[in-house]
Structure formats: C-alpha cells, structure tokens
Structure 1
Amino acid sequence: MNETLSFGLMAFTSFFTLLNPLGTMPVFLTMTANLSPEERTKTARKAIITAIITLIAFSFSGKVLFEFFGISIHAFRVVGGIIFFLMGQDMLQARLASTKINEEDIKSYVNDISITPLAIPMIAGPGSITNGIILMQDAHSVTLKVTLVIVIIVVLLLTFVILWSSTKLVKFLGETGNLVLMRLMGLIVMVIAVEFLFSGLSPMIREMLDLQ
C-alpha cells in the first residue's frame, strides 16, 4: 500500500509539473478568444480526451513504437519545438486573434487546434510522454500500472477544469486584453520552443560527434 501511494504521489507530481495546466491556460485563452463559451469548452474537452488517449497509449507502447520506427524522444522534442515556434510567431503578430472564424468553419477550427497544438504537443508533449514511458517501465505490478493510468486521467481532468474555468477570464480581459496577453504569451511560447529545440538537438549533436 505504501509503495502504491508513494508511486502515485510521484507520478501525480511529475505529470502535473510537466503538463503545466496553468501555463497552458493563457495560450488556450488566446487561441479560443473568438469562440463561444460552448465551443471553447468543447475544444478543451476534445483536447483533454486526445491527450488522455495519447499519454496512456504511449505509456504502454511508446518504447516499442519508438524503437520500431527508429524514432528518438530527442527528435520528438525538435518537432515539438518547431510547432511551438510557428505558433508563437503567429501569436506574437496577433494573427490568431485577428483571424475571424466563419460559423461554418468553427467545427473544423475546433478539431484542428484541439488535437494540434493543444493536445499534442502542448498538453501531451515530449516531457509528459517520456515521463509516462519511464514510469510504466518502473511499474512492475498490475496495481502500479493501474495507479499510473488513474493518475494520468486525474491530472488531465484537473487540466480540463483549469481550462474550462479560464473562459471567465475572456470576458474580463476584453479584446484589447486578449491581444496584449496573446503577444506576451507568443513571446514566451517562442522561448519555450527554443528550449525544446536545444534540448532535442544537443544530445543528437553529441551523438553525431560521438562526444559523451
């Protein structure tokens, strides 16, 4: 029982830190500023469901899939960094808020951003996927594996609650506030993207130069 509890606490702490729902919230707000509260909630729900499926699937089979396709987690970080950088650039130039969404295009827009970049790689990113793979390898019993799955679901449900409650901030900030917030977060997202790129490229370069 003590082992299960300590494992669960460690998994919860690590996942909550890596997922960083409070850091995701401002980006979510700016990307859904032109949506109705109902569509914003739908976007958050779809992103969370996608993230749950992704994290659980990778936790159980990620190591095998990466080895089968010859993919390294470093390459995953590089791709995530590129996606983040392009998204941050759009946010910095206020393109996301200035783009008016037609009513017939809302469903397509929600589907697009809820899966990428919100679910992958913003919520279920390289760090959380790697964490799930490692913890699943450490979970040497069925009880610990079930605990890990429960923790993933609980953390992502908490993330949904945080994103859902953030809709109240949209009315408070107004259009000008959303533009200012989006430009600031665009800069931060681009910085995160650079960190992702370097954290992925550095070990790859060391491997190529055979410098350990």
Structure 2
Amino acid sequence: MVEHVLLVEVFVTLFVIMDPVGTVPIFLSLTAGRSPATARRAAWQAVAVSFLVITLFAFFGQQIFNYLHISLPALQCAGGLLLLLVALELLTGKEEEHKASGDANIALVPLGTPLLAGPGAIVATMLFVQDIDDWASGISVALGIVAVHLALWAAMRYSLPILRLIRESGVLLVTRIAGLLLSAIAVQLVADAVRAFIAGEG
C-alpha cells in the first residue's frame, strides 16, 4: 500500500530542490571533451552517489549531526563554499582541472554531492523520514526518492545529444552559464547559513 499524496509530496519537493533540469548545463560543462561513454558513466555514478548520500542521511543523519556536533547551517555553508570553488573554475575557464582528474572525480564531487545531494535535499529527506509512522508512508518516501533520482539520471543521460549539437563554442557558453548558476546557488546556500547563524539556529 502506498500513500499517493505523500509520494507526490516527496517527489515534488525533492525535484524542486535537486532540480534535474537546472543540473543539465552544469553536467554538460563538466563532461565537455569526454567520450559519450565516459559522460554516461559519470551520469549514473553521480546519481548513485547522490542516492547513497541521501539514503545514509535518511537513516543516520540526525545521529551523525549529533555525534559530530554539526549544525544544519554549518553543513549549508560548507556545501556553498565547495560549490563556489567549482563555479569560479567554470567562470574563469579553469574547469580543465576537473576533466584531467578522472571520471569519478566529477561524479563524486561536485555532481553527486553537494550539487545533487546537497544540504537542502538532505534536510528535506530527514524531515520526511521523521514523519514515517507505518510501512505505507515508509514505502511512499522511498519511492519518491527513487523517482527523483531516476529523473536526475534521465536529465543528464539524455542531455548528451545536446552536447554534440552545440559544439565547442556552445560548450563554452554553457560552461559560463553553468558557472553563473552554480555561483548563485552557492551564494544562496552561504547566505541562508549566515542568516541561520545570526538567528541562533547554528
């Protein structure tokens, strides 16, 4: 038995936070110059890493935070600073360092985490897990998380034909746009963290 309202709520919430469509230009810029097979592998690796991180925090997130004395604003700020470093490399044309550092590197960081499995997605998942009170609600939350990750994989996997179409000049444009978007996300994460610290939530 599945609680359809909860399933839709989980899917829509995580879809908006993790933003499969907004991930596409960043994915294209980070995989530019790689073979299609390598880019496809990076897509499923990033989704697998994100799913693993989200699942880990769903089960053990509160215990991890309590044990390490980590607050949510601290996690947000760390994620924002990491994304800002990647965004600056994309904006200044130094993203080749990511391309030269191996396939798994971009799939793990920054794609898998903190871009996909970022502070927002982690906290939203932890809140949904706290509301689980029976098998039906548990299955609904699990299916919602799986569905979002399938959407993420599909968005990245089927964005590859775009990369072949826009060619090198288009890739450069997409890279700069991705850097701008990523820097905005990063600054917003840091700003939210600072506001939370000031409000005494840290």
Q: Given the alignment of the two structures, is residue 29 of structure 1 paired with residue 28 of structure 2, yes or no?
A: yes
Q: Given the alignment of the two structures, is residue 198 of structure 1 paired with residue 191 of structure 2, yes or no?
A: yes
CA RMSD of aligned residues (A): 1.8
**Compared with structure 1, are the counterparts of its residues 100 and 64 closer, same or farther at alpha carbon in structure 2 (3 Å cutoff)?**
closer
Q: Which runs of 5+ in 2 are unaligned?
A: none
Aligned equivalent of 2:179? 186
Give the residue type in structure 2 aligned to 1:162: A
Q: Secondary structure at the match of 1:95?
A: coil
Aligned equivalent of 2:122? 129
Q: C-alpha displacement at 1:158, in angstroms?
A: 1.4
User: Take 1:59 and 1:123, find their aligned partners in 2: how far apart are those partners?
Assistant: 15
Q: Deviations over 1:78-124 (max 9, x none)?
A: 0111011111111011222x5595xxx6xx52111101110101001
User: Take 2:107 and 2:97, find their aligned partners in 1: how far apart are those partners?
Assistant: 17
Is the Cα–Cα contact under 8 Å of residues 20 and 155 in structure 2 kept in the other structure? yes
Larger Rg: 1
Q: Secondary structure at the match of 1:82?
A: helix
Matches within 5 A, 1:1-212: 4-96=3-95, 98=96, 109-207=102-200
Is the Cα–Cα contact under 8 Å of residues 25 and 177 in structure 2 kept in the other structure? no
Q: C-alpha displacement at 1:206, in angstroms?
A: 2.6
Q: C-alpha displacement at 1:35, in angstroms?
A: 0.7
Q: Which runs of at least 4 in structure 1 moved beyond 4 Å after TM superposition?
A: 98-101
Q: C-alpha displacement at 1:15, in angstroms?
A: 0.9
Is the Cα–Cα contact under 8 Å of residues 30 and 98 in structure 2 kept in the other structure? no
- TM norm structure 2: 0.94
- TM norm structure 1: 0.90
Task: Report percent identity of matched pairs.
Answer: 26
Q: Which runs of 5+ in 1 are unaligned?
A: none
